Every structure is written in C-alpha cells, then in structure tokens.
Amino acid sequence: MEKQTPDFKNLSTAAQKAVLRSQCDEETGALIYAFMAKREKNAQNSTMLKRMSSDEKVHAAYWQSISGQEGKPDRWKLLRLKLLTLILGYTFVLKRLSADETAAITVYERLKAEIPEAATAQADEMRHEKELINMLDEERLQYVGSMVLGLNDALVELTGTIAGLSFALQNTRVVALSAIITGVSATLSMAASNYLAQKADGNPNALKSSVYTGVAYLITVALLVLPYLFLPNTLWAVALVIMILIVVLVIMGFNYYVSVAKSVPFRKRFVEMLSISMGVMVIAFLIGLLAKTLLGVNI
C-alpha cells in the first residue's frame, strides 16, 4: 500500500516541529537499540533489539520523506544513554526509553489529524513499549535484594557509627581510620554471612549474591568516608554534614534506579530507607555525645 506523503510546507508550525523532533528521536532510538543489541548476550533479546532498531530507521525515513531534511540523532542524548547502559544496565535505559515511547504515542495522536500515516507509527510505538517490558531479564536485577542488603546495612550501620565517632572523637582523620577499619571488616562479615545464608537456602548462585552484597557495602563505605579523608582534622562537623548529604543522595539514587528498573513506587521506598538511616544516626549522635561526657574522652 503506497503511503501518502503530506507537503511539509502545508503543515502547521506545531506539526512541522513535531515531525522534525520525531525524526531526530527515531534516529537516536535506532542507534541506541543497535548499541544495546551488540552488547546483549541473550540471543532473543539481541534479535528483538535489532528489529526495533530497524523499525526506528523505517520511522525516521518516513519522517524524512515528509520533512525533506536529513535527520541527525541527538548526540548528547545518545552519549548519555550509552553511558547509562554501561553503568546502570540496559534494563534501566529500556525503561526510560519505554517512557519516551509513551511520549511518542501522544505526539503521534496529535499528528494524525494532519498526517494520517502517524497512526501506523503510533501502533508500532505501542508494540515497542510492550516488547520492551516483556524482554527485560537482566542479571543484575536478579540480585537487587542482595544489593539492597549491602547498601542498606552499610548506610544504617556506618552512618550511625561515623556520626557517633564524629561527636566522640572530633577529628576527621581518626574518624576516617576507625570507619575504614569498621567498614572493611563489616563488608567481609556481611558478604560471608549472606553467602552462608544463601548456601543454606540452596541458592546455586550464593557466591555471586554475596559478591553483589559485598560490593554494594564497600562502595557505600567509601562514599561515606570520603569527606573525612579530604577535609582538615578540625572540620569534622562539616564532614558530618557532607556525609549526611551523601547518604541522602545515595538513597535517592539507588531507589530511583530500582523504581525505574523494576517499576516499583519511588517515594515510599525512599522515605522508608531514609527514615531508618537518619533515625539510627540521631541515636548514634546521642550515644557518642553521652559516651564522650561519661568517659571523659578528649581527643
């Protein structure tokens, strides 16, 4: 069936902008899907991504036939998505692209009055969205529970420990030394405990699960200790404030990642984890201050 190509000059200004934007989005989508397909080890997922890349190219070619202009992808968006794929995994990026597909459906709905063929593109985008959701099966998401265990335990335990030490010792270097020793020891203990627990439950991937837990714990420890390593000895209070900000950002970032990748509510999980961490930290403040007073420690 031959497609009827409308005259670009006769379209409304809004429609012209929508066509050019859609052309750019399709070009960008084709490249990012192709990039993911090359990296994807699962043959079925890789094949689907290649087909979706091909579909995006077809869409881009159609919009180009209307605009009469050579389409160029959004290089900054492409670079950003590639980096996110490498850092956060393809599931997170695909979920974000799925949101873009939903936005594209809305654009095509408005365009149908002036460009009837937009209905076909709309149907393709709706199919893409369903396929994106159905194909997600990334290994790292199978171990989100292990990452949450390491991250949450490190935040709760180390935040309280560092806060207490800050008030008791009031010296950034001494606090950092104590936190590093405690953090590394706790990392090994947590990873070993998780391994034994998973092994007892008959999990064949117990070792990998414990590695995810340990890595999440260790990264969190490193982030929390950083302010105490770079600030002068006397600025322990400033280091404490910066650490609190890091805690909030870590909790926010991790919960945003999980909420997007696993389609779960963000706010409830964020508030819950933040409340626990801050609650433990306040208690540790009081314990550190009380211990310093009662023991007469003055460093």
142's tokens = 């199978």
Long-range CB pairs of 282-290 (<8 Å, 24+ gap) are: 283/160, 284/159, 284/160, 284/161, 284/163, 284/164, 285/163, 285/164, 285/167, 287/164, 288/163, 288/164, 288/165, 288/166, 288/167, 288/168, 289/167, 289/168
Taking only the tens place, the pLDDT of each residue in 38-69 is 988 878 778 888 888 888 888 888 888 888 88
Tell me: pLDDT of 197 over 50: yes
DSSP label of 114 = T
Phi first, then psi, for residue 274 (nearest 5°) are -65, -40
DSSP label of 5 = P
For range 25-47, the mean pLDDT: 86
Cα separation, 236 vs 244, whole angstroms: 12
For range 167-194, the mean pLDDT: 87
Domains of the chain, each with CATH number or no CATH: 8-137 (1.20.1260), 141-295 (no CATH)
> Does the predicted TM-score (pTM) go above 0.75?
no
